[in-house]
Structures are given as structure tokens and as C-alpha cells.
């Protein structure tokens, strides 16, 4: 079965510093991959998605992610974090049943 692993439960980063969130997946074929963000008390919002083509994907809010087949990874990055980026981030993959399977999430804290 397809699965998604987010190795980091919690990351703290200083405002203005760079951010990288890790995501590893297990899947036989080329996966459909997503990153979602959840602000406190809110539902999830799609940041970006990868289906095929260019392995560097640009998303909203200045985020990007890079698909690396050799490492089975789809890490999310942002060059300079803003306080408003404090949230929980979820990596997800379309599974064999054509539905999203989510990772456990990474909570990002931004310190001034």
C-alpha cells in the first residue's frame, strides 16, 4: 500500500530563515503528490501538487517542492519564512484507490 512519511513532527525556525519539510513516499509508479497547509482552527489548503513533468514545483505563498524519484522524496521548501507560515503541513499521495493518503503532519513554529 502507498504510504507517506513525514519524519519531522515539529520544526522551529526563525523568521526570515529558510524552511525545508521532508516527505518520503512509498509507491511503485510515478505518484501524484501534494502538500497541504493547515492554519490553527482551519481546514487544509492546497499549497502545490506534482503529477508529472518538471520536478521542481512552485506553489502558493512562496513555497516550492522538489520531486526526487531516486530518494522517493517530495520535500517542501521556502527561502524566507514569515510568522504567518506557522501552521501544520501535510504531505499526501494518491493511493491505488485514487484517494489521498496523508502523512502525520509537521508542525512549524516561527520564532521572532
Partner 1 sequence: NAGVTQTPKFQVLKTGQSMTLQCAQDMNHNSMYWYRQDPGMGLRLIYYSASEGTTDKGEVPNGYNVSRLNKREFSLRLESAAPSQTSVYFCASSEKLIGEKLFFGSGTQLSVL
First to last CA, the chain: 41
- Of the two residues 46 and 56, which places its CB atom closer to partner 1 in the complex? 46
- Of the two residues 75 and 107, which places its CB atom closer to partner 1 in the complex? 107
Cβ atoms 61, 45 nearer than 8 A:
no
CB of 83 to partner 1, least distance (A): 21
Contacts with partner 1, residue ranges (CB under 8 A)? 4, 9, 32, 36, 41-46, 49, 51, 90, 94, 98-105
Using DSSP bridges, classify how beta strands 64-68 and 73-78 pair: parallel, antiparallel or unpaired.
Answer: antiparallel
- Of the two residues 18 and 39, which places its CB atom closer to partner 1 in the complex? 39
CB of 111 to partner 1, least distance (A): 22
* Nearest Cα to Cα of residue 18 among 76, 78, 107, 85: 78
Amino acid at each position: 500500500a502507498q504510504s507517506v512519511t513525514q519524519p519531522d513532527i515539529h520544526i522551529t525556525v526563525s523568521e526570515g530563515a529558510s524552511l525545508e519539510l521532508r516527505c518520503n513516499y512509498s509507491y511503485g509508479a510515478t505518484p501524484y503528490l501534494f502538500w497541504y497547509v493547515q492554519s490553527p482552527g482551519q481546514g487544509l489548503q492546497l499549497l502545490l501538487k506534482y503529477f508529472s513533468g518538471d520536478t521542481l514545483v512552485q506553489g502558493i505563498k512562496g513555497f516550492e517542492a522538489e520531486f526526487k524519484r531516486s530518494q522517493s522524496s517530495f520535500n517542501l521548501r521556502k527561502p524566507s519564512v514569515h510568522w504567518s507560515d506557522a501552521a501544520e503541513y501535510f504531505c499526501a499521495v494518491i493511493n491505488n484507490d485514487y484517494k489521498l493518503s496523508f502523512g502525520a503532519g509537521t508542525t512549524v513554529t516561527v520564532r521572532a
